[in-house]
Structure 1
Amino acid sequence: MADREARAPTDEESAPLLQDAQNGEATRRPSFTERVGSLLAEPLTAVNKVLLLLVLVFLILSSVFIGLFAGSQHKLHTTPDLPEDSPPSTVTSVITAPPTTVTTTTVTTSTAVPVPVPAPSQPPSQEEACLTPKCVVLSAAILSSLDPSQDPCENFYEYATGGWRKSHPLPSDKGRFGSFNALFQENQDIVRQIMDADGPPSIASLSSSYDKQLLSKVRDLYASCLDEETLDTFGEGPLKDVVRHIKSLYREESTEISSAHDEKPRKGLTAAIAYLHSKGIPGLFDFGIEGDAAVDPNFMVLWFSQPSFGLPSKEYYEEKSIRKLYQSVVERLLAVLYDDDEDDISTRVNAAKDDLIINKDASSYAWPPWPWPPWGGDDDGDDGDKPGHGPIDPHSLAKKVVKFERELAQASLDLDILYQDPLATYNKVPISNITDTITQINLPNYFATFTPRNYPTEVIVTYPAYVRSLADILNATNPDVVEAYLVVRAALVLAPRLGTSTESWKAVRSLQEVLQGIKPGAIGDRAEYCVNSVDQALGFAAGRFFVNETFGGDSKEKGTKVITDIVEAFKVSLSNITWMDDTSATAAAEKAEAIRVKVGYPVSPNTENALSLIRYYSLVKINKYTYFDNMLSASASDVYKEWQLLGKVRDLEAWEMTPATVNAYYNPPANEIVFPAGILRPPFFSQEWPSYLSYGAFGQVAAHELTHAFDSAGRLYNQQGKLEEWWTNATSEAFKVKQDCIVDQYSAYTVDDGKGGKIHINPLTNDVTSGENIGDSGIIQAFRAWQAQYEDSYKAGNEYLLPGLNFTREQLFFLAFGRIWAENIKPAAAVQRVRTDPHSPSLYRVEGTLSNVPEFAKAFNCSSKAKLNPPPEKQCLLW
């Protein structure tokens, strides 16, 4: 899960494993046999003859299907007869990895030892399997995801996902694609249907005027994104208008940046950076609003941190080839955005907009007044061409911009501390510590852009050294370079919203292609991109219709039960944790009990109330012909809403993710775990699945988020979400020993860099992933929760077997867990993930986790020499 990182997405199956799983049946339907009998009792009309023929075809296909299952299972589980003293055999197979890479894997297969059936399973041969069409389809999906040529005790990731990965080749426009992405695409398809004029039948039931108004807003945004003809008409114009405004603001005062000893700050830089931040464009530094973790986690205060950069992480700035590529992209952007035709461009764009008003939909078109920033709208002011700003050399300026940004990146905090150490990143200081240091920025004027009546007196700084470094770097940098940097920051964020024929779009895309391993020139489905835009800008509004379409029946109740069962299993397990003393175990149980569980959709904003959502998005101005401006308005609205939280009490009902999101998260200051409706679908969950699948797949998601409350960072927040050491010293020291074990284990794992080398996913000097790896270890709590409820679930008929699967329920639990991490990924995308993502690559999220779960080795009868069954002294057992 993306948990504590920026969630977008940034971890799905191409077709649902069960169809129409949202609503239960109120009345009993006639059985298949009864319907056939009724048909045969009637005179054979022409229609009946056709229906009878279809029934017979279905019966024949079902027989063939089951026969194929039996045959595949015979191959899957039958081992050639070997002498009792015969050693394991070694088989070398060639497996096609993510496109362009061929990996030769050596697999050691087990001898013909029958797999024992661990308790509490009943032997599959003694029970009748479910033979309904849904069970057959579900069973087929599981079988198709497997690679039976692999030994599960040696290469479980390939065993559980090899079939899926082979049947889901990496799309040319993506650097990575997995089960999370596939499910998100399914969710997107549902939202796309809602965006269509007719829409699914469920839309007709939402007949209120508020729903119609909300739906119209969502559909207009979607239509504006799809209208590529209009985007081509505007060309570079919308971005140039933004850049022109940045320049006019920046050049408002003296062009000389004041020295650290000059008390007169430069207002032009202040206005320009405030404008960028007001539109959600990062640069120089970042202010955010979050709880005061060490005093009152529910009182929202100001946080100061480093910004994001043009390259994904500081390591990229040290690679000469990447730095050279980035410089060329910056040069291309500057060449376009510093041409001499700004007045002409602006005139043409405004004329095009006027033409749209007249010829397309004048009645609905309006440019809304915006009360902030206080210096006026985007088109105010002159063209910024003041003395000293003549023609520029894009090549020379680009080189200086990249050097400037590289210095900022080098001065930033390493991600291991940013992700893993909330104590080190909590530094409350008077606001004067920043105002007296970064004298190039007038913070009172900056804050007036966002919160004119709530000027903060204190601020929490994540990395105090960055404050001093930023001031020094600004002081040593030519003002023209700083201006160009601001222009490039805007272009990198906004250029993807232009038409694909523009030079700015092409320049930014060329950078993305290299960093993510995307095939040059490969452009994905425009509708997919536009649904993403809708979710980004109006996600809770679209989520109302998505939930109405997909999240019915007992999904919320049954999903919540999986989560609460896991919480109870965790509380029970605390008494058996040898490294945790009684005092800490009691406090941990209290924290687990206090965790708020949110499932499906929020009540803030109230997804069940259309009027609530209309008010929530009241500042987002949408017109069906101006996609660029629509997204700019949505970003500005998000920034405005965040700043309104300053000085207020946390809204405990608020969500960070929209309902259609395929993800989940734990929020430490709020002590809450949140699971959107979007992830409560196959291959993660279905209210109609047998419990061993739900607890193995969605149970891992739930256990992962719960375990974050007790990982390397989460354990530092107490039951109320307050940042403090609430474990005893002895327990904290013992936990660090366990954490070091995890760090050592994952530090040995590598990914291919695509250049013939290997990159360690977790260098010992840069522990980025241990928190997420500890979160993944929570799978054992899901397993225990499933076992604890097994007897009652079995009696209720919720542990039924599936046809053609000669696995125990325990084995299917772990297969359900493994399948959700199926993924194909390009080396470039893998490198980017290692450098920027606190989560380990999917292979290690499966095999690294299971090597620390003895119950897995027992379920698959792994030998003591198997890779995934290391000796106890080499296992990192936390729970």
Structure 2
Amino acid sequence: MRRSILVLSLLATAAFAGVSHAGKAPAKSAVKPAAQAPAAKPQIGTFGLDETGFDRTIKPGDDFAAFAGGDWVKRTEIPADRASYGMFHVLQDLSLERTRTILEAASATPGDKIGDFYASFMDEKAADAKGITPVQPWLGEIKAAGDRTAIAVEMAKLQRRGVGGLFGLNVGQDDKAPDQYIVNVYQGGLGLPDRDYYLKDDAKLAQIRTQYQAYLAQMLTLIGEANAEARAAAIFNMEKNLATAHWTRIESRDADKTYNKWSFADFEGKAPGFPWAAYAGAAGVSGQASYLVGMPSAVTGEAKVFADTPIAVLQDYMMVRVLRSYAGYLSKPINDANFAFYGTILTGAPQQPLRWKRAVGTVGQGLGEAVGEQYVARYFPPESKAAADSLVKNIIAAMGARLDKLEWMAPETKVKAHAKLAAFTPKIGYPAKWRDYSSLTISRDDLVGNVAAANAFEYQRGLNKLGKPIDRGEWGMTPMTINAYANPVMNEIVFPAAILQPPFFDAKADPAINYGGIGVVIGHELSHHFDDQGRKYDATGKLTEWWTPEDVKRFTALTDKLVKQYDAYEPIPGQHIQGGLTLGENMADLAGLAVAYDAYHRSLHGKPAPIIDGLTGDQRFYLGYAQVWRIKFREPALRSQLLTDPHSPGAFRTAEVRNIDAWYAAFGAKPGDAMYLAPADRVRVW
């Protein structure tokens, strides 16, 4: 299943503070006669906007993100357990605290699954006393796997427990037959975040490669293995060979290129060197009529790497993967060593989150909807869902009106686009039917066993879909998640309960703030169904070409301009945003702003927006948007985002306003301002 995720990757999400222009006053148009704020008191400020975060020494037209949030950036410290910190993290902290309350109450009653799972994580003394004993049988089985067939079987067995192997493997909808489930196979197997970490000629990445090999050696040493440095170097060389075979992230986001149906015989013929039959049997995916292969040449290349790598290196590789996947549930030495690399070196966070936070996250992953059912009952009242439902309907209506105005879309294509919009499914807050966890056994004194059982439960749940009707009520996120997503094969957008809170949404806030916050998010996700990849899916969710060739040509000419615009941004000296990688998300922000702005004005029913605290309705709308993207980052986290994340850093998402005429009118941006674009240079897709 392909999903377009709005933001998280929370730890990877970062922002560029922009160029400071101290001493310059804001544009005169930003100051208007004051009027009364709304009577109801929102959670933030007097009308939903934190004006104390403004830096009024900066002109909006020079750096809108800094104008709207510069003082917030100056006074905000990134917590020691964070790689970055912004509005999403504020909500995540709230969600964690609320979920903790639920789990601690449940843990007081032995026999409650979510409470027992939480209690097993919180027993740190037991984890330290057990050392590596809980995973020792797995390590022993890897060592006993004396040939490639046996190693492939161990990879499949460990995949069921949540340990990634050489290939990615899951069950999702067939993009060209969305009423059927199919097994997906795609590239995998790297210990570093992306192929660039192995292959790019960059001094910082070269340093990380050295540190990674030291980490590999440390993990082998911690489990008593000799000659660790040489063995770590061999693991790294194997992974570098895998990275060489990998597709880039830009290549991997192409829905057409990643749709490749293979028969089982094709695996033996097109990707020889890997024992596919043994692997598929142990993984529970043999006997399928066809499989979807995401990156064929990468799968072929990885099979060759497997065939060419000595057995002993494959064994070491898998042992380290076990330790990495389960380090957080083992004793302190392994946990600390793992965090020192993946937390501190890769993201810059000096401290690991408190144990209760990690416990909440783990239980949320393993028993997410069991926790979510209680979360919704406590923290998401019916009136919040009703208000969000109404706002979504207004955004969808505004999108329909926008479609009619598009000059680059042919009339016959607009008819099909409206059909797709009419078939659209928004999911708000929580699923209509909660997941049944009755077959999942949880023990109060076996943390590793609980994690393995939860992973195996989820893996088997995927296998059980094969041959069954599509579950159109399924959710890919829990209600506690601060995120949203668009799913093209289901023709749906999904908004968990936890994101429907300030600063995104507050029923008592000024509507301009809500439309600039959650309204843009809704428009963003909705537009993913019409972006450079989502547009390839029709009203039924089928991957097919339903645009005319002329539509595609005109559309691509516009999106190429957006790619070029973002390619020019350089958040870190020498490290630019990848306009091709971030295209879908940048387009969605642009569309979200346009559609939510229209919806806001529709909500006024022809009446002028009030002036509040000297700000017009349009100004509040764009400031509400900028407020959502206030964020600070540590350099390693920002570097990782630029290399791997399809989302641009926060301030560059705010900078999308420079393409919108109404923003110029609202804030008086003019030639000579740093953000100014001549009308002919503004990207107008929507």
Tell me the distance in 2 between the aligned counterparts of 1:602 and 1:488: 37
The AA in structure 2 aligned to 1:512 is G
Give 1:769's match in structure 2, choosing from 582, 606, 615: 582
Contact kept? 1:411, 1:466, Cα under 8 Å = yes
Report the equivalent of 2:599.
785
Tell me the distance in 2 between the aligned counterparts of 1:871 and 1:701: 27
Give 2:446's match in structure 1, choosing from 601, 617, 626: 626
The AA in structure 2 aligned to 1:394 is A
Contact kept? 1:300, 1:647, Cα under 8 Å = yes
Aligned in 2, Cα 1:627/1:587: closer, same or farther, shift over 3 Å? same
Deviations along 1:72-97, one digit per CA (max 9) or x if unpaired, are xxxxxxxxxxxxxxxxxxxxxxxxx9
Aligned in 2, Cα 1:7/1:102: closer, same or farther, shift over 3 Å? closer
The alignment status of 1:276 with 2:130, answered yes or no, reads no
Aligned 1:383-422 pairs, distance under 5 A? 392-419=226-253, 421-422=254-255
Aligned 1:46-61 pairs, distance under 5 A? none
Report the equivalent of 1:513.
344
Shift of 1:135: 7.5
Larger relative contact order (C-alpha < 8 A, sep ≥ 6)?
A: 2
The AA in structure 1 aligned to 2:341 is S
Aligned 1:456-475 pairs, distance under 5 A? 456-475=288-307
Report the equivalent of 1:448.
281
Tell me the distance in 2 between the aligned counterparts of 1:290 and 1:102: 39
The AA in structure 2 aligned to 1:325 is Q
Aligned in 2, Cα 1:115/1:190: closer, same or farther, shift over 3 Å? closer
The AA in structure 1 aligned to 2:574 is K
Aligned in 2, Cα 1:836/1:198: closer, same or farther, shift over 3 Å? closer
Shift of 1:241: 3.1
Tell me the distance in 2 between the aligned counterparts of 1:830 and 1:7: 14
Shift of 1:555: 1.2
Tell me the distance in 2 between the aligned counterparts of 1:782 and 1:274: 46
Report the equivalent of 1:208.
none
Report the equivalent of 1:551.
380
Query: Which shifted more, 101-110 or 535-544?
Result: 101-110
Runs of 4 or more consecutive aligned structure 1 residues displaced over 6 Å after TM superposition: 101-104
| Identity across the alignment (%) | 27
The alignment status of 1:565 with 2:394, answered yes or no, reads yes
Aligned 1:563-642 pairs, distance under 5 A? 563-603=392-432, 606-607=433-434, 613=435, 616-642=436-462
Tell me the distance in 2 between the aligned counterparts of 1:481 and 1:709: 44
Tell me the distance in 1 between the aligned counterparts of 2:337 and 2:457: 28
Query: Which shifted more, 549-558 or 157-166?
Result: 157-166
SS of residue paired to 1:579 = coil
Report the equivalent of 1:330.
216
Tell me the distance in 2 between the aligned counterparts of 1:618 and 1:632: 16
Contact kept? 1:696, 1:817, Cα under 8 Å = yes
Tell me the distance in 2 between the aligned counterparts of 1:597 and 1:793: 29
Aligned in 2, Cα 1:554/1:154: closer, same or farther, shift over 3 Å? same
The AA in structure 1 aligned to 2:549 is N
How many residues were matched structurally? 677
Tell me the distance in 2 between the aligned counterparts of 1:337 and 1:751: 40
Shift of 1:424: 0.6
Shift of 1:800: 7.0
Q: Which segments of 5 or more consecutive residues in structure 2 lack a partner in the other structure?
A: 200-204
Aligned 1:107-506 pairs, distance under 5 A? 107=22, 109=24, 113-115=28-30, 125=34, 127-130=35-38, 134=42, 137-139=45-47, 142-197=50-105, 216-248=112-144, 250-251=145-146, 255=147, 257=148, 266=149, 268-294=150-176, 296-318=177-199, 319-339=205-225, 392-419=226-253, 421-451=254-284, 455-499=287-331, 501-503=332-334, 505-506=336-337
Contact kept? 1:274, 1:449, Cα under 8 Å = yes
Tell me the distance in 2 between the aligned counterparts of 1:536 and 1:393: 37
Deviations along 1:568-590, one digit per CA (max 9) or x if unpaired, are 11111222211112111222122
The AA in structure 2 aligned to 1:875 is R
The AA in structure 2 aligned to 1:469 is G
Shift of 1:448: 3.2
Tell me the distance in 2 between the aligned counterparts of 1:459 and 1:297: 14
Aligned in 2, Cα 1:775/1:857: closer, same or farther, shift over 3 Å? same
The AA in structure 2 aligned to 1:866 is D
The AA in structure 2 aligned to 1:402 is F
Shift of 1:198: 8.3
Contact kept? 1:498, 1:505, Cα under 8 Å = no
Aligned in 2, Cα 1:508/1:213: closer, same or farther, shift over 3 Å? closer
Tell me the distance in 1 between the aligned counterparts of 2:578 and 2:638: 13
Report the equivalent of 2:202.
none
Shift of 1:439: 4.9
SS of residue paired to 1:436 = helix
SS of residue paired to 2:80 = coil
Shift of 1:642: 0.9
Shift of 1:870: 1.2
Report the equivalent of 1:379.
none
Contact kept? 2:217, 2:228, Cα under 8 Å = yes
Report the equivalent of 1:825.
633
Tell me the distance in 2 between the aligned counterparts of 1:423 and 1:455: 25
Aligned in 2, Cα 1:308/1:564: closer, same or farther, shift over 3 Å? farther
SS of residue paired to 2:127 = helix
Contact kept? 1:116, 1:861, Cα under 8 Å = no
The alignment status of 1:679 with 2:484, answered yes or no, reads no
Contact kept? 1:666, 1:708, Cα under 8 Å = yes
SS of residue paired to 1:674 = strand
| TM-score normalised per structure 2 | 0.93
Report the equivalent of 2:484.
664
Deviations along 1:802-849, one digit per CA (max 9) or x if unpaired, are 5xx2211211111111111111101110010111110011111111x1
SS of residue paired to 1:129 = coil
Shift of 1:446: 2.9
The AA in structure 2 aligned to 1:515 is L
Aligned in 2, Cα 1:793/1:688: closer, same or farther, shift over 3 Å? farther
Report the equivalent of 1:31.
none
Aligned in 2, Cα 1:551/1:639: closer, same or farther, shift over 3 Å? same
Report the equivalent of 1:94.
none
Report the equivalent of 1:32.
none
SS of residue paired to 1:299 = strand
Shift of 1:622: 1.6
Deviations along 1:335-392, one digit per CA (max 9) or x if unpaired, are 22354xxxxxxxxxxxxxxxxxxxxxxxxxxxxxxxxxxxxxxxxxxxxxxxxxxxx4
Q: Which segments of 5 or more consecutive residues in structure 1 lack a partner in the other structure?
A: 12-96, 118-123, 204-211, 258-265, 340-391, 608-612
Give 1:718's match in structure 2, choosing from 538, 543, 554: 538
The AA in structure 2 aligned to 1:551 is F
Aligned in 2, Cα 1:110/1:161: closer, same or farther, shift over 3 Å? closer
Contact kept? 2:48, 2:509, Cα under 8 Å = no
Tell me the distance in 1 between the aligned counterparts of 2:607 and 2:446: 54
Aligned in 2, Cα 1:113/1:801: closer, same or farther, shift over 3 Å? closer
Deviations along 1:156-192, one digit per CA (max 9) or x if unpaired, are 1112222332343111222111110110110111111
Tell me the distance in 1 between the aligned counterparts of 2:484 and 2:27: 42
Query: Which shifted more, 157-166 or 690-699?
Result: 157-166
Q: CA RMSD in A?
A: 2.6
The AA in structure 1 aligned to 2:491 is N
Shift of 1:625: 2.1
Tell me the distance in 2 between the aligned counterparts of 1:292 and 1:3: 13
Deviations along 1:390-447, one digit per CA (max 9) or x if unpaired, are xx4211111111000110011011100112x100111112221103354554434333
Q: Which structure has the bigger radius of gyration?
A: 1
Tell me the distance in 1 between the aligned counterparts of 2:3 and 2:614: 36
